[in-house]
Amino acid sequence: MKASTFVYPWDVNGDPEAPARIASLGVRQVTLAAAYHSTRALTPRHPRHRIVTAEHAAVLYPTDGRWDGRELRPYPAGDWAPGDAFGEAAAALTDAGLEVHTWVVLAHNSRLGAEHPDTSVVNAYGDRYPWAPCIAQPATRAYLVELAAEAAVRPGARGTELESLGWYGLQHLHAHDKTGGVGLGDAGQYLMALCFCVTCREGYAEQGLDADELAAAVRAALEPLWQGSAVDEGWTGVEKLLGGPKAAATRAWRDATARTLQETAVRAVREAAPEGFQVLLHADPVTYHCGANPGVDPEHILSVADGVVVPCAGGPGLLAPFAGQRRDGAVIAANFGVVSGMGGSPGTLASDAARARELGATEIRLYHAGLASDGDLAAVREALAGF
C-alpha cells in the first residue's frame, strides 16, 4: 500500500537533511503545500527556526498573469515562504527520490474574508465567517477554480490533493478559538453553517423557501441547543430541529452548489495538467458535512476525480462508502495522524493501516512529517518497514 506524508515547504527549505530524513520513513510520495491557510507550525528539527507563523492564507509560489485585473486573487506568502518556496522544496524532495504532489487548500481563507467581507458565509444571525468563502457566489467560485488550476499544476508535480473544495462552516480554529462552550453537535453545526448571503438567499428561493422565514426557523431551532438541550445526531437531528421539508430544501441547494464547484475545479485542473496527472479530493462521505474534508456523494465524486483522501482520526469507518463503489483504479487514501502531541497515534499505524486496507483503502496518508517529533517519526519508520 503506497504511503505519502504531508509536508510544508518551510520544513524542507533551509534544512539540507530534511529530504533524506523524509525518504527514510519509507514513504514513496510527499504531498507538499502549494496553497495554504494561515497557521502557526512547529519545525522541531530545522537548523534555523522552531516556529513558523504563516500570517495569512497564501500561495507558496509566484503567480502568473492570469490574475491581472482581477479583484479576487491569491495572496503571496511573506517571509515564511518567500519566492518559489514550493518549487525549491519540490526539487529537493524529487532529488531524494520522492514523488511530489501538490496540497492545495481552497475555500478556507481568513484574509480574503477580512478584505472582501461580501465573499463570506453569513449565518442565520447575520454573523459573517471570514474564514469561510461562500462557494455559491459566482466571483468566489471563479476565483477558487482558477486557484485550483494554478496551484495544483506546479512544475514537477505528479498529482494534487484539493482540500476544502466545498462548504466551510463554524467548526474552524480561528485565532484563539472560544466556540466550544456549547455542544451544538452534528445537527447544530449544520444549521450554523447555513449561509444567508445574497446568492444563497436566491438559491433557497429556487428551492421554494423564503430566506427570511428560513433564517427565523434556523434561529428558533437552535435556541434549545443554546440552552443546553441535547439533540439527535446526524441528519435525523437536523430534520427534527428544522423540519423535514426545510432541511431537504437547504441540502438540495448546498449539495448541488458543492457538486458543480467540484466538477468545474477538477475539470480546470485536468485541462491545465499533463496527461496522467492525478487529482484527489479531501472528502467526507456525508454530503452535509463542512470543513477541510467537505461532504461529497461517494458515487459522484469518484466519477469526477481519481480518488479521495479520507480522514481517519476517529477510525477508518468513513472509508467504506467510497470503497463500496468498487470503482477500478480509484485511489482511496486513509489519512492518519502521526503527531502524538496533536492526538495522532504513530504507534498503532501498522494495525490502523491494516484495518484500513481491509475496509478498502488503497493508500495511506500521514499527517504530518514536518510536525512530528523524532519519536513519532521512528514509530512511523518502524510501521512502514512492515508494509
For 302, the enclosing helix (H) or strand (E) is helix 298-304
Q: Provide the grid cell at 369.
A: 512529517
CATH number of the domain to which 117 belongs: 3.20.20.80
Of 15, 85, 75, nearest to 48 by C-alpha is 15
Separation of alpha carbons 201 and 372, rounded Å: 44
Dihedral angle of Cα 166, 169, 172, 176, to the nearest 10 degrees: 140
Is residue 92 included in any domain, yes or no?
yes
Q: Which domain holds residue 347?
A: 2-123+132-179+255-385
pTM > 0.85 = yes
Report the DSSP pairing between strands 39-42 and 99-105. Answer: unpaired
Question: Given this model, what pLDDT does residue 174 score?
Answer: 66
First to last CA, the chain: 7
Judge whether 236 lies within some domain: no
| Cβ atoms 77, 39 nearer than 8 A | no
Residue with cell 519566492: 83
- Size of the chain in residues: 387
Q: Is residue 373 part of a domain?
A: yes
Backbone angles phi, psi at 18, to 5 degrees: -60, -50
Model pLDDT, residue 291: 94
So what's the pLDDT on residue 230?
84
**Relative orientation angle of helices 234-242 and 185-193, to the nearest 10 degrees:** 60
Q: What is the pLDDT along the chain (387 residues), one digit of tens a residue?
A: 899 999 999 999 999 999 999 999 999 999 999 999 999 999 999 999 999 999 999 999 999 999 999 999 999 999 999 999 999 999 999 999 999 999 999 999 999 999 999 999 999 999 999 999 999 999 999 999 999 999 999 999 999 999 999 999 997 766 667 677 888 899 999 999 999 999 999 999 999 999 999 999 999 999 999 998 888 889 999 999 999 999 999 999 999 999 999 999 999 999 999 999 999 999 999 999 999 999 999 999 999 999 999 999 989 999 999 999 999 999 999 999 999 999 999 999 999 999 999 999 999 999 999 999 999 999 999 999 987
For residue 229, being part of any structural domain is answered with no
As a whole number of angstroms, the distance between CA 141 and CA 134 comes to: 8
Q: Is residue 233 included in any domain, yes or no?
A: no
Q: CA-to-CA distance for 198 and 221, rounded, in angstroms?
A: 22
| Omega before 368 within 30 of 0, i.e. cis | yes
Is residue 217 in a domain? no
* Number of domains present in the structure of the chain: 1
Does residue 223 fall inside a structural domain? no
Q: Quote the pLDDT of residue 386.
A: 85
Measured between alpha carbons, how far is 135 from 125 in angstroms, rounded to an integer? 19
Distances (CA, A) of 304 to 5, 129, 205, 217, 263: 24, 29, 28, 35, 6
